[in-house]
Each structure stands twice: as C-alpha cells, then as structure tokens.
Structure 1
Amino acid sequence: TDAAAREANAAIASIEGCRYIELPQNTGIARIRNRLAEAARYDFFLFLDADVFPVTEYFLQNYIEASYMADVVCGGLLFRTPVATDTNRTLRYKYGTRVEAQTSRQRMQNPYGEFRTLNFLISREAFFKTRFDESFSRYGHEDTLFGKQLQLNGCTIAHIDNPIYHDVPDTNDEFLEKTRKSIDNLCEHRNTLQSHVRLLSLYERLHRLHLAGAVAGIYTVICPLLLANLRSKHPSLFLLNLYKAGYLCRVMPRNAQAHL
C-alpha cells in the first residue's frame, strides 16, 4: 500500500549514511539514473534495480575488490528456481535463465553488448563522461546505448560473477508487453542504435531484400498462435524471436512515417 511504502521509505531515510530521494513525477529511467549520480558524493556508483537482491553476503566486498579492474564492473544476475513452478511466469523465467543469466566468461565475449543496468559498478569519471541519454524516456534499450557509449568513450568494462537475484519476474503478458514497448523504443531510436541490436540488424536485412512487408503480413496471421505458445507452460524462445521480428516489421514503417 501507499502507506506501507511511505513507512518503508521513511525507515530507509533514517538509516545513517542513507538518503531517500523522491521525485515529483516519473521522468524516465535514463534521467532518473543521471539525477542519482548527480546527487552521489563519492568516487564509485553502484546501480541496482529496485526488484533485485544480492546472492551473497560478500556482494559489496566483491565489488570493492573488483573496482580496480575497469571503469565499469558488471556482476550479472540469476533467477530463483521456484519461479519456474508458476506457469503464468514461465516465459520470463525461461528467457531469463537461457539468455540473461550468463557467467562472467560468457559476458566477456561481448563485454559492451552484454552491459546491463540492473547491477553494475561505475567510476564517477566514467559515468559523467558517458551519462545516460535522456532522450530515452520510455522503456527499452537505454542500457544498449550506454554500453555503446562506454565503448566509444574508451571506458574499460569487466564482468565478474557477483550476481543479484531478480526477484519479481513479470507474468507472461507483462513480459510480452515490455517486449513490445522495448521494440517501439528501438524503432524510435533506430538511427542511434544502428548495428548495435541484432533484431534491428535483422530488420535491415529483411528490408533490403524487400521481405519486411511479407514478414509483417505473416506475423499478423500467425500472431494468435505465437501468443498461445508464449503464454503456455512450455514457451519456445525461437517463437519469441519470431514474434519480436514480426512485431518489429509491422511497426517499423508506421514509426518511420510518424517521424517524417
């Protein structure tokens, strides 16, 4: 409840060394992260999403020991196994465990491309050299651009195994809605993210081959079948990728027309 949230926030604010900052309105993820950095006092910033929890009691110590390794250190994430028993969350859990929950060795194969905002340490200097692009006011891909900018700015990045648990995975429908919002944002920032998102690269190839319209048409026909699988007990990640590609092919021309 709102009352319970206010009590919890007041308790946080009363802890020595803690500051609770409340904005009058939601100004977007990128702008909020920039404001938090501006309010910070020390030389390193640790960013954690609100719905995550450290896996180990040595979480902070691990970051302190790794802070010398690079300008940015990413710890990774895990999902608690019991979530898999909830059939209404099977898609989010499967995507998380198969795609997002990678070891540090896996992430270091593409260090900037695997940057995620939900659990990372960054030096003050590297953050203010890069900052989050505040034109990304909607959900999706602000971390993709930040990783790209870190690379362009010559900031070093390291991945370690210091994960957090993602404790509140979305329901199947919530995850699908976020997926669509993320693709909508991808369309809006198409020029900025060019060549940095595989889904966008796929669209460009289809467009050059004059196949994007055909894929959009097929998507419209089979979308109910795709959704039936993605909401089921055993969703297919291949069909999720097909759903994403089809949705992008359908909305990209509409988005491009809106920005003429």
Structure 2
Amino acid sequence: MLSILVPIYNYNVYPLVLELHKQCMDCGISFEILCQDDASKSSLNACNENVNALSNCSFVSLKENLAHRENRNSLAEQAKFDYLLFIDGDSIIIHDNYIKKYIENLHDFDVVYGGRLHPEKCPSDNQKLRWKYGRFIEDKSAANRKKKPYQSLLFNNTVIKKDCFNKVKFDTNRKKYGHDDTQLSYQLSVLQAKVNHIENPVKHGDIDNNLVYLNKTKESLENLISLYEEEKIDIEFVRLIQLYHFLKRTKSTFIISKMHSVLEKYLSQNLTEKNPNLFLFNWFRVGYLCSINQKN
C-alpha cells in the first residue's frame, strides 16, 4: 500500500514518525516508514534510533553524504509498496486524519499533493524572508494549485505511484541546491501524469534564517539557469524563465546586471534584516539571474 519516505539531515524525526505510525495503524493499512539521515553525524540521531522500535519503521544514518536528491532516490529504491509518500523530516502533521485523507484520494491519480503551510506568526525576525516567501507566495489552497497543477507541485508532502516516480526521479547530476521540484514536475507534465491537489497540508517546521535562505536562493537561481540553458525545462513552464528569456532576447540582461551590481549590497541588507521586502526580493532574483548570464 504505502511507503512513507523521510529524508533527514540533522533533525529529530521521531515525533513526526510517531504521529505517522499512529495514523497508519489507525487506518489499518499495509505501510512502512523509512527514514534516512544523510550522514549529518548529528547528536539528534540518538533520538532518531527510537524509530527502529516502532513496527514497520526504520531509521538509518548514512556514513557518507549522498546529497538530498540521491537521498530521496535511495529511499524510493528501498520502498516496497506501490505508493510513495515523500515527507521532509522537519514537517509537522497538523491533522489527525492526514493519512486517511491521502488514502481516500489516491484512486485514478499518479500524483497527489496535499500542500504546505507556514506558521501564522514568524518564529523570529531572523527568519522573516523565508517565512514571508513561504506564507505569502508558496502556501496555496488546493483550488488555487489546481489552476496550474504541475507548476504547483512541491515534493514535500506528495504521494506518487512508484512506477511513475521511476520514470522521472531526482536528477543526481545536479549538485547545487534548488529547483528539484521544478524539474521533476516538468518531467511529469511531459508524461501527462494525472495530478490531484487536495487540502491536506503539513506545516513547515525548520525555517531557514534570512542569510541562509538568501544564499540558497542564489544557488537555486544558478540551477534554474542551468536547466534553461540545457533545455531541461520548457521556457513557458517557469514564469521567471519566461521573463529571463524575454530580457535576454531584447538584450536587456547586461543593463539589469549592472543595475544589480550597484543595488546588490542595499538589497542584501534589506533581505537579511528584520523586515525584508518581497518586492525587493523579486527584484534581487531577476537581477541575480541576469548577473549569472553575464558571468557565463
């Protein structure tokens, strides 16, 4: 029936697994919960070892780092059931019918995405950028996500048929952070996989601080440009790439990159302080994209 796959890096996953285990037992389904720490060598793994005492559950701490894409692929290869539920180790289950709701909505679909929520209140000023972008841009209702079913997929809190996942998988040739979901979702759109969006969100628990998220954003934009240049995604699939392609075609990228070099220090200062502005964040993203083009 269901293989629940939980990639971890330096996080106490036991409370999450305990809740998932309880709900699976209550539903009376065949299941397994596979947790794999990607060689973090964290002291928290002492807590994670408790997962092995639960029926149909396992925790493994890898000796060598695979990186997040290969870690997910590795978990999928080990899975023995037909449906794979990918859920990140820092997720928080907020509904006691979470598993039941997925079971009720699997029929006739290759992929089912439940959504994600950020806390109503930001945990700290130092996490405001990631929190704002998550809460006001990424967090969407199922009705909203259904308007663009492929572009709205995030592979945390997603159930996918194993035979469907095996046709796409995460691209382990890429080493930089970001846009794994974009590439995988595009591949699913090419396959015309049947995608459903439901209201079954998890809460994002481990929110990056401002500087970490800004640096991750830079890396993810470099990955996005790489996907574009290698023609791994269609231009129309990503709005930011549509804009970049237009700017490149109109020979505007050089001007914007020069503007970005002047403004980058000011933008970075705003985005890493206690009240980051999402409009400035979007400008930063466009400017950085054009700067990558100039470097190459």
Q: How high is the TM-score relative to the length of structure 2?
A: 0.81
What's 2:187 paired with?
149
Moved more, 34-43 or 18-27: 18-27
- CA–CA distance in structure 2, aligned partners of residues 10 and 88 of structure 1: 31
- Counterpart of 1:193 in 2: which secondary structure? coil
What's 1:229 paired with?
270
- Counterpart of 2:154 in 1: which secondary structure? coil
Aligned amino acid, residue 118 of structure 2:
F
CA shift for structure 1 position 205: 0.9
The one of 148, 152, 157 aligned to 1:110:
148
Q: Which has the higher contact order (CA 8 A, sep 6+)?
A: 1
- CA–CA distance in structure 2, aligned partners of residues 26 and 247 of structure 1: 29
Moved more, 114-123 or 193-202: 193-202
1:1-260 to 2 correspondences below 5 Å = 4-83=43-122, 86-190=124-228, 191-195=231-235, 196-255=237-296
Q: What percentage of aligned pairs have identical amino acids?
A: 32
- Counterpart of 2:158 in 1: which secondary structure? strand
Aligned amino acid, residue 122 of structure 2:
V
Structure in which a larger fraction of residues adopt strand? 2
Aligned amino acid, residue 192 of structure 1:
K
What's 2:5 paired with?
none
The 3 A distance-change label for structure 1 pair 3 and 179 is closer
- CA–CA distance in structure 1, aligned partners of residues 62 and 84 of structure 2: 19
Decide whether the 8 Å contact of 1:141 with 1:185 is kept in 2. yes
Moved more, 160-169 or 7-16: 7-16
Aligned amino acid, residue 275 of structure 2:
H
Structure 1 residue runs of 5 or longer lacking an equivalent are 256-260
- CA–CA distance in structure 2, aligned partners of residues 5 and 68 of structure 1: 37
- CA–CA distance in structure 2, aligned partners of residues 174 and 249 of structure 1: 21
Structure 2 residue runs of 5 or longer lacking an equivalent are 1-9, 11-40
Decide whether the 8 Å contact of 2:126 with 2:272 is kept in 1. yes
Aligned amino acid, residue 45 of structure 1:
L
- CA–CA distance in structure 2, aligned partners of residues 253 and 193 of structure 1: 21
- Counterpart of 1:118 in 2: which secondary structure? coil
CA RMSD of aligned residues (A): 1.7
Aligned amino acid, residue 239 of structure 1:
L
- Counterpart of 1:130 in 2: which secondary structure? coil
The 3 A distance-change label for structure 1 pair 3 and 220 is closer
Decide whether the 8 Å contact of 1:45 with 1:123 is kept in 2. yes
- CA–CA distance in structure 1, aligned partners of residues 64 and 147 of structure 2: 39
CA shift for structure 1 position 67: 1.0
- Counterpart of 1:24 in 2: which secondary structure? coil
Decide whether the 8 Å contact of 2:130 with 2:207 is kept in 1. yes
- Counterpart of 1:114 in 2: which secondary structure? coil
Decide whether the 8 Å contact of 1:29 with 1:138 is kept in 2. no
- CA–CA distance in structure 2, aligned partners of residues 218 and 212 of structure 1: 10
- Counterpart of 2:85 in 1: which secondary structure? strand
CA shift for structure 1 position 35: 1.1
